[in-house]
């Protein structure tokens, strides 16, 4: 089993176990925050800019700049995304396929609280991130030079807020993360850093059933998983940005 596969299994465990293990708010939340949607599922449109960031541009490269599509899942202290996309090149051999999975789970510390009846709160998320990205040439058969395939496991902390009104709930957070980057082929381990920001608005529920969720996310990330005796140290050095526009349902 590759490291990427092991990471995917570990992600599934984290999604269930970690929120209960990480620190919660240090002060009791007002009653207003005990109400509202428990989870949301959305369809997403991803604007991807993924390009080589090393010193000497190799052949092949896995620059991916076309849009991608996917789904997102959000609930208290958990946010997951899955995206896929295809990019056509000058020849069939240059066609690329992108597969991306990302999971954030976090605990919350509230350094202060507003008035008892306030519908706003501020918190510090302490987050664990795990992600997997594969950009491969069409028809790739697990060849070292046919795909960029890296898993990441990292830690971070930042700032977040939540505001509630009648029939609306707004959530936002921003945090930098640093973590280990593992290539699926080879034994090298490097680093990955990223900055993630997200804003989502929950409307409803309507008729005491489902509501509507709108969201926007932005991410900057750098991958530096290292080289090996067969390839240079910067062959898989990439950087990129990602914008995520989404709409879905909550309940």
pLDDT greater than 90 at residue 68: yes
pLDDT tens-digit readout, 106-134: 999 999 888 777 889 999 999 999 999 99
pLDDT at 143 (0 to 100): 61
* Assigned CATH topology for domain 3-250: Lipocalin (2.40.128)
Instruction: Please give the pLDDT value at position 163.
Output: 94
**Residue 208: its pLDDT value, please?**
80
Q: What mean pLDDT comes out for the span 130-145? A: 79
How far CA 28 is from CA of 109, 115, 168, in Å, comes to: 11, 12, 21
Give long-range contacts, CB 8 A cutoff, 24+ apart: 173-177.
Answer: 173/125, 173/197, 173/198, 174/198, 175/125, 175/127, 177/127, 177/129
What pLDDT is recorded for position 32? 47
pLDDT at 116: 72
Highest mean pLDDT among 1-15, 44-58, 216-230: 44-58
Q: Kindly report the pTM of this predicted structure.
A: 0.84
Which pLDDT belongs to residue 225?
Answer: 86
For the chain, which residues make up each domain, given as ranges?
3-250
**Predicted pLDDT of residue 147:** 87
Phi, psi of 186 (to 5 degrees): 95, 175
Question: Mapping DSSP to helix (H, G, I), strand (E, B) and coil, where does residue 21 land?
Answer: helix
pLDDT of 6 higher than 70: no
20: pLDDT strictly greater than 50: no
State both tokens at 136.
Answer: 């491969």
Separation CA 202–CA 36 (nearest Å): 9
- Give the pLDDT mean for 219-229: 81
- Cβ(130)–Cβ(173) below 8 Å: no
pLDDT in tens, 154-180: 999 999 999 999 889 999 999 999 999
Q: What is the DSSP string of 140-183?
A: --S-TTSEEEEEEEEEEE-EEEEEEETTEEEEEEEEEEEEEEEE
**In the predicted structure, residue 30 carries a pLDDT above the cut 60:** no
């Amino acid at each position: 089993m590759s490291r990427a596969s092991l990471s995917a299994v570990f992600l599934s465990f984290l999604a269930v176990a970690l929120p209960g293990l990480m620190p919660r708010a240090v002060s009791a939340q007002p009653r207003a925050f005990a109400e509202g949607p428990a989870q949301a599922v959305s369809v997403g449109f991803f604007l991807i800019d993924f390009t080589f960031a090393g010193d000497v541009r190799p052949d092949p490269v896995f620059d991916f700049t076309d849009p991608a599509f996917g789904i997102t899942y959000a609930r208290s202290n958990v946010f997951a995304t899955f995206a896929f996309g295809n990019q056509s090149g000058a020849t069939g051999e240059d066609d690329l396929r992108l597969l991306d999975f990302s999971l954030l789970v976090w605990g919350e510390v509230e350094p202060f609280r507003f008035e008892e009846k306030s519908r706003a709160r501020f918190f510090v998320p302490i987050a664990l991130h795990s992600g997997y990205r594969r950009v491969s040439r069409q028809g790739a058969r697990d060849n070292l030079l046919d795909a960029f395939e890296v898993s990441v496991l990292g830690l971070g902390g930042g700032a977040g807020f939540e505001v509630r009104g009648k029939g609306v709930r707004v959530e936002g957070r921003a945090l930098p993360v640093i973590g280990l980057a593992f290539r699926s082929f080879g034994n090298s381990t490097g680093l990955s850093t990223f900055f993630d920001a997200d804003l989502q608005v929950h409307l409803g529920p309507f008729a005491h059933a489902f509501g509507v969720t709108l969201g926007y996310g932005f991410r900057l990330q750098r991958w530096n998983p290292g080289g090996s005796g067969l390839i240079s140290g910067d062959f898989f050095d990439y950087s990129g940005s990602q914008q995520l526009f989404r709409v879905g349902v909550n309940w």
